Amino acid sequence: MTFFEKLLLALLLGAPGWLLAQQDPPSLQYDIAFGLHSYYMPFWVSKFHHFNKSS
């Protein structure tokens, strides 16, 4: 995993994402991280979309 990918994971999931990203090679925890990401992503997208419309 590149530094950029680790940073992206950290931005998406916060500190737990950064800690998960330190696990090399990617393991079950990496899959869990992406599971969380796909679960939370619609929420973040809707928040961001609402923010853009309101400004």
pLDDT band at 53 (very low <50, low <70, confident <90, very high): low
Given this model, what pLDDT does residue 3 score?
A: 74
Tokens of 41: 């992503």
Given this model, what pLDDT does residue 14 score?
A: 67
pLDDT digit string, tens, across residues 23-42: 665 566 666 677 766 666 66
Whole-model pTM: value is 0.28
- pLDDT at residue 5 tops 70: yes
Distance CA 55, CA 42 (A): 20
**Contact yes or no for 26/1 (Cβ under 8 A):** yes
Given this model, what pLDDT does residue 2 score?
A: 78
Q: Which residues contact 17 (CB under 8 A, 6 or more apart)?
A: 9, 10, 11, 33, 37
